[in-house]
Amino acid sequence: MSTASAGLAKKNGYNNVRVYLDGEPAWMENRLPTYSTKEFILNGNVVLIDIRPRKEAMAGRIKGAYSVPYEELEDKLDDVPRNAPIVLYGNEEVMDAVNDVRDMDFNFVSLVRDGYDGWVKSGGEVDKGPIFRTEIQWVRKLGKGEVSVADFRKAVLGQDKDAVVVDARTKAEIAELGIFPNTINIPLDEISARMNELPKDKKIYVHCSTGARADMAYNELVKNGYNAKFLLLNIKDAECDCPIIRP
């Protein structure tokens, strides 16, 4: 996130904003953790996994969590879509688990802050006793403002003439990685100044590299009267499957 993007985040209601200039790729490369909010765990379409031994999970686990001991994790996640948000908690092996899941190419991997004990202290609901949730099943559900991959792909391929695709990544990212066809590049930092370039009588589909910046751009466009949606997906994900114009 750049300083200009941080300003836009504040404008959108975020109160405690700091800038890490090296960005998410450097954070992940350094094997650093990210944490999910309680609200996201409760209401997000997440895969919540308790990696502790089953005996511990039977004594008490977060309500709705799958019980998948660490040694079974890779096996159980094998057939889960890579854009599923994975939220983990457990014992001293939990950071190893986070890095293992990232190495399996999952795009969104985070932790429950302070684990099971922290959840209990926060008043979160728990389950006890026999465990039935051991086989992971996850189906993507669109959140507020999201565009489906299928509709996004139609716009990129030029099959939906009523939709305009906006790439909110930086010019440097596009120079390195390329851009989708039928796409306008307006970096997130420039959305406020350049939104007048976009038609208000068409659908606007915004994307970035993972969806975070696209979400902020979407909120800014909607507040200014645009019929906008955003793509919450890592564009390297095979599900996207859109052609890329290389620089």
CATH number at residue 90: 3.40.250.10
Phi-psi region of 31 (alpha: psi -120 to 50; beta: other; left: phi over 0): left
Sheet with 227-230, side-by-side order of all strands:
183-185, 163-167, 203-207, 227-230
Percent of the chain exceeding pLDDT 70 equals 93
- Record the pTM: 0.66
Please indicate, yes or no, whether residues 184 and 214 belong to a single structural domain of this protein: yes
Query: Regarding predicted confidence, which is higher, 247 or 181?
Result: 181
Quote the mean pLDDT of the chain. Answer: 91
Q: Is pLDDT above 90 for 19?
A: no
Annotation marks residue 208 as catalytic: yes
State whether 39 and 97 are in the same domain. Answer: yes
Q: What is the pLDDT of residue 91?
A: 94
Question: Which pLDDT band, with edges at 50, 70 and 90, does 31 fall under?
Answer: confident
Question: What pLDDT is attached to residue 21?
Answer: 66
Active-site residue, from 208, 216, 221, 231? 208
User: Would you call 18 helix, strand, or coil by DSSP?
Assistant: coil
Residue 7 predicted with pLDDT over 70: no
Q: Are residues 67 and 119 in the same domain?
A: yes
Instruction: For the beta carbon of residue 37, count every other beta carbon within 10 angstroms.
Output: 12
Which domain range does residue 111 map to?
Answer: 31-127
Residues 204 and 229 sit within 8 Å (Cβ to Cβ): yes
pLDDT of residue 120: 98
d(CA 194, CA 186): 7
Confidence of residue 210 (pLDDT cuts 50, 70, 90): confident
CA 185 to chain centre: 21
Report the domain count for the chain: 2
For 165-181, what is the mean pLDDT? Answer: 94
Angle between helices 212-223 and 3-11 (to 10 degrees): 50
160 and 95 share one domain: no
pLDDT at 229: 98
pLDDT number for residue 5: 64
Whether 161 is covered by a domain: the verdict is: yes
Regarding predicted confidence, which is higher, 27 or 104? 104
Evaluate whether residue 136 is within a structural domain: no
Q: What is the pLDDT of residues 109-144, one digit of tens each?
A: 999 999 999 999 999 999 999 999 999 999 888 888
Residue 26: the pLDDT is 72
One DSSP character per residue, 204-218 reads EEEE-SSSHHHHHHH
164 and 82 within one domain:
no
CA atoms of 196 and 99, how far apart (whole Å): 42
In order, the DSSP letters of 33-57 are: --EE-HHHHHHS--EEEE-S-HHHH
**Paired residues of 4 in beta bridges:** none
Q: What is the mean pLDDT of residues 64-75?
A: 97
Asked if residue 36 has pLDDT above 60, the reply is yes
% of residues, the chain, pLDDT over 90: 73
Same domain, 159 and 206: yes
Residue 63 CB neighbours (<10 A): 13
- Our separate counts of H helices and E strands in the chain read 11, 11
Task: Provide CB contacts within 8 A for 211, sequence distance 6+.
Answer: 230, 231, 232, 233, 234
Q: Do 101 and 63 belong to one domain? A: yes
Which residues are CB-contacts of 32 (< 8 A; sequence separation ≥ 6)?
none
Between CA 51 and CA 130 the distance in angstroms is 16
Least confident of 14-18, 110-114, 164-168: 14-18
Are residues 77 and 155 both part of a single domain? Answer: no
- β-bridge mates for residue 245, sequence order: 179
